């Protein structure tokens, strides 16, 4: 992935990344996990070096849950990461269990929620990667780089 804003058409702005995101080779990045409905599980002022928030609870296409935004909201539930920064962007992934894909997003912590990563934040799809749930569970720093 890249921290260059021109690579992600549609992102609101990608000039205001969370301060913990840095250019790093695979094996040197930091992937932080967050479980659905975990409450205020992460604090951006404590976790100052994270490149990707990996949501550990799979999302499925069911009923009214079918857009990328709705699936992100479903996968994160009531879990939050505080102190990301108002209007900051952060990279997030979730697993789409219906279509067997890892979904990569840029999430913009909207200005109305004091810089907390949560379900109401605006998401922009970066891309998807075909994989099994077992592959997603194993995905970590060795598989992820930021250029």
Rounded to 10 degrees, the C-alpha dihedral 124/131/67/104 comes to -10
Question: What's the total number of domains in the chain?
Answer: 1
Report CA-CA distances (Å) from 23 to 18, 28, 66: 12, 9, 33
DSSP run (H or E) holding 94: strand 89-96
Domain for residue 7, yes or no?
no
Residue 19, pLDDT score? 78
What would the mean pLDDT of 84-107 be, rounded to a whole number? 91
The tokens describing 47, both together, are 């976790």
What is the chain's mean pLDDT, rounded? 85
Q: How far apart are CA 25 and CA 69, in angstroms?
A: 29
- What confidence tens digit (pLDDT) does each residue in 46-81 have? 888 888 999 999 998 877 668 899 999 999 999 999
Domain for residue 2, yes or no?
no
Between 31-40, 55-64, 94-103, the lowest mean confidence (pLDDT) is in 55-64
Q: Which domain holds residue 54?
A: 16-140
């Amino acid at each position: 992935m890249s921290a260059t804003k021109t690579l992600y058409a549609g992102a609101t702005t990608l000039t205001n990344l969370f301060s913990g995101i840095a250019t790093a080779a695979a094996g040197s990045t930091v992937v932080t996990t967050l479980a659905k409905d975990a409450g205020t599980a992460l604090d951006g002022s404590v976790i100052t070096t994270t490149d990707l928030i990996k949501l550990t609870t799979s999302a499925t296409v069911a009923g009214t849950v079918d857009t990328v935004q709705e699936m992100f909201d479903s996968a994160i539930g009531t879990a939050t990461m505080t102190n990301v920064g108002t209007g900051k962007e952060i990279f997030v992934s979730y697993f789409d269990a219906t279509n067997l894909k890892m979904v990569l997003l840029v999430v913009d912590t909207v200005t109305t929620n004091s810089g907390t990563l949560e379900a109401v934040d605006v998401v922009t799809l970066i891309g998807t990667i075909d994989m099994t749930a077992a592959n997603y569970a194993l995905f970590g720093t060795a598989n992820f780089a930021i250029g």
